[in-house]
A and B are shown apart, each in its own frame.
Chain A
Amino acid sequence: MDKSVISYILLFVILVLVQALLLNHIVLFNSAVCLAFIYFLIKLPLGMSPNLLLTLGFILGLSVDILSDTPGLNALCCTILASLKKPVFYAYEQHDDQKRNISPSIGTMGFLNFSKYIFSLSAIYCLLSFFVEFVNYSDAVQILIKAGASTAFTFLVILGIDSLIYKN
């Protein structure tokens, strides 16, 4: 098996476990949650076939759902995020043959573009998941506050993880 495939599987397992055992239990200021497991979707190479990308997104979401007792919530949001990954990437990067199969990171995209890219994806994910989960239970302002705080938290943690890996 390809070395990169094994490292992606490892990343998947670690992120899901960290999310379920640690991050799900940290709620800052009663509203900010860190949904850092989407880092796996962010890191998947761009050249990957769309069907495989959607499938991996769905499985990732479902795994987190099973461990946090929110059936369907993250599976739905991850599938949608997987479908938006490419358009968001090309909103900040030029179409370039050399970059066709890269894995997005600070090293391959540059700090500014990568920050914009993960901020957009985090914001999409947090807005989507909080609206789907709370739509019957809270008003729009509260959902926006929660989603906004969680976007900032998620963005910072993902940026931190990526810059740690980049330095090594």
Chain B
Amino acid sequence: MRNLLNFLIKYSTWFVFTFYVLISCILLVKTSDNHYSLYVSSANAIGGAIYRTSSEVTDYFGLLAVNQRLQESNAKLESEVLNLRQQLAQYKVLAQDSTETAESHRFGFIGASVINNSIRHPRNHFTIDRGSIDGVKPGMGVVDQSGIVGIVDATGKNTSRVISVLNQNQHFSAKIKNTPYVGSLTWRGDDPSIAFLEEVPRHAKFHVGDTIVTSGFSTTFPEGIDIGTVMGKVKTSDDTFLILKIRLASNFKTLGTVRVIKDSLKQELDSLNNIGTYE
């Protein structure tokens, strides 16, 4: 017994070292586990409080640019509202009792501010100042005024961590606007303004400058939200699929205000999907 104790004390440094290295490696490898990842993320109570306080100060610096972008998007939305109102009036005449459908109230938004953001890692996350109290849940999509920016992955009480589009482990279902050609949006690191649309069918027709939008195949994003524009084709050895280079619509260096998308049919649709996988 005494020998054992002496041994442990003599080599304690090695044990301590191995212990810490092991813990670090476990944390490094198990990043996808939602449940505990909250505690080692910037969305926990302390991290959230620190970033909230700092963003109260730094938010003022970018106000001019944010204001300008909001005005632009406001103008765009206003014209859209006018158009839709006109269309609605026309349809109302045609079909008087079918204008109120479940689909028209399916999606809601929760406004939020980005309080911490990173673009230099291969797997980037950012933190927003809305949490479970405000109704944010893991799996919800996040957009800014220009297009999609990420998916919520851990929610604290007042803050949430979001997986950025600039995350090499996260793929998004996307398609070329006004066509049925769907692909998988992937970021490959390095340039925060460029992503790639992979697994596009070989026969898909596209032009440089075409818009890429969400496919609506998941409950995370509704169909037709902007993602970016086509810059060109990437040469590959694969004969069955195309890879397109995409310029992302959102500027990830200056994320300011974002909106979290609430899908009222999410639970129903997800449970339906689960039934399929039990077979």
Residues of A whose CB lies within 8 Å of any CB of B are: 17, 20-21, 24-25, 27, 30, 33, 50-51, 54-55, 57-58, 61-62, 65-73, 75-76, 79-80, 83, 132-134, 136-138
Contact = CB atoms under 8 A, between A and B. Distances in A.
Contacts of A67: 42, 47, 50-51, 116
A25 B40 CA distance: 20
B28 interface: yes
A27 B27 CA distance: 25
The winner among B40, B54, B117 for most chain A CB atoms within 10 A is B40
Interface in B165-203: 168, 189-190
B28 A76 contact: yes
A75 B23 contact: yes
Interface string B10-42: 001100110011011111110100000100111
Contacts of A83: 17
Contacts of A21: 50-51, 54
B121 interface: yes
The size class of the interface chain B forms with chain A is: 35 or more
Contact of A30 (B20, B24, B190): B190
B42 A71 contact: no
Given A54-B16, A61-B24, A75-B27, 9 more contacts: A55-B16, A58-B24, A68-B42, A68-B118, A71-B40, A75-B24, A76-B28, A79-B20, A137-B189
B42 A75 contact: no
A57 B27 CA distance: 16
B122 interface: yes
Contacts of B16: 50-51, 54-55
A80 B22 CA distance: 12
Nearest to A26: B120
Nearest to B161: A69
B125 interface: yes
Contacts of A33: 120
Contacts of B13: 50-51, 54
A73 B120 CA distance: 14
A21 B120 CA distance: 14
Nearest to B164: A69
A51 B20 contact: no
B44 interface: yes
A137 B20 contact: no
Given A51-B13, A61-B24, A80-B21, A27 B120 contact: yes
B42 A69 contact: yes
B17 A79 contact: yes
A65 B125 CA distance: 12
The winner among A20, A68, A72 for most chain B CB atoms within 10 A is A72
